Amino acid sequence: MTPKEFKTFLGVTESNIPEMRCRVTPSSFDPDDPELRAIPRSLNWRWTSCERFLRNVEARTVLLRLPLFWQIESFLHRACQAVGATILVNEVENMPVGAAAMHSANVNVVMTDTSDAGLFSTYLFEKDVEFPRAWFVVHRGDAENWTLPQFLRETQIRVAQEVHLFPGLPVLDQCVMLADSKETSFHLSDAYIWKIGAEKTTITSVGNDLLPFVKFPLSFVLRTTGMCPCGKIIVERSL
Ligand SMILES: [Zn+2]
């Protein structure tokens, strides 16, 4: 299945979405992408990697700064419900409100993407606002590299990183030990069968994807770097 074929399937499926009783997330990180389609997602899907991190850092209030068009709020809401946390949505452009919420809304977790994590953490540093103790950072699968912003790397803040193939669709995640290492190393999502070659990495859905990936080639290539004490293999990006 090529990415082009996947988009064709999405186009064909789109008219059936109203009857499918599902949620949808976008097929591109660019809201102006002329080929943007809706990916149907199961109502039963749980963002387990997020839930695990929120539980581990004892989340109270999560400041959501991922773009709203990612349609990720319902998934986050479910994860927050499971751990007894609340969500505060903060539009990316509105950093002063986000900064003020640290105290007024008792925020102790920030969820955002790589680029905003850099901008927002710099803003908080310059305004001398106390950093929330936990950050959940999503790297875009189509980015050229995945780099953790400086302020999050150097301080004693807890950070979990994961890579989304499309907005709200995690393919690489971290256990608590890997997250605490601050390395951009990951575990492979259990929702897929992985084939990691020297020049190509493909995934095939094994979970309850409504539109399954079949030998879908990723835009990045991985290599195995070792074994984690949690029992899973560790991978890094090689291309
Ligand atoms: Zn691990």
Q: What is the pLDDT of residues 143-178, one digit of tens each?
A: 999 999 999 998 789 999 999 999 999 999 999 999
Where does 57-93 have alpha helices with state H? 73-83
For 14, the token pair is 């789109």
Rounded to the nearest angstrom, the distance between the alpha carbon of 44 and the centre of ligand 1 is 25
Expressed in angstroms and rounded, the spacing between residue 235 Cα and the centre of ligand 1 is 11
Furthest C-alpha separation in the chain = 51
210 within 8 A of 19, measured Cβ to Cβ: no
pLDDT of residue 156: 85
Ligand 1 centroid–CA 232 distance in Å is 6
Place 103 in a pLDDT band, splitting at 50, 70 and 90: confident
Q: Dihedral, CA atoms, 14, 143, 228, 159, nearest 10 degrees?
A: -100
What counts of helices (H) and strands (E) characterise the chain? 7, 14
CB-CB contact of 202 with 188 (8 Å): no
**Ligand 1 centroid – CA 194 distance (Å):** 17
Q: What is the whole-number distance in angstroms between the Cα of residue 233 and the centre of ligand 1?
A: 7
Question: What is the distance between the alpha carbons of residues 94 and 145, in angstroms, rounded to a whole number?
Answer: 26
Q: Quick one: pLDDT at residue 239?
A: 80
Q: How far is the CA of 173 from the centre of ligand 1 (A)?
A: 9
Using a 10 angstrom Cβ sphere, with 0-12 exposed, 13-18 middle and 19 or more buried, the burial of residue 152 is buried
Residue 90 Cα, ligand 1 centroid: separation in angstroms? Answer: 31
Question: How close is the Cα of 95 to the center of ligand 1, in Å?
Answer: 33
Question: Rounded to the nearest whole angstrom, what is the distance from the C-alpha of residue 182 to the centroid of ligand 1?
Answer: 12
| Partners of residue 7 on adjacent β-strands | none
Contact status, residue 173 vs residue 165, Cβ threshold 8 Å = no
- Dist. CA 24 → ligand 1 center (Å): 30
With contact defined as beta carbons under 8 Å apart, do 170 and 186 qualify? no
Q: Which are the contacts of 137, defined by CB distance < 8 A and separation ≥ 6?
A: 112, 113, 114, 117, 148, 149, 152, 159, 160, 161, 162
Which single residue is written with the structure tokens 């390395």?
Answer: 183
pLDDT tens digits, residue range 198-230?
999 999 999 778 889 999 999 999 999 999 999
Say how many Å lie between the CA of residue 185 and the centre of ligand 1: 10
Are the beta carbons of 132 and 105 closer than 8 angstroms? no
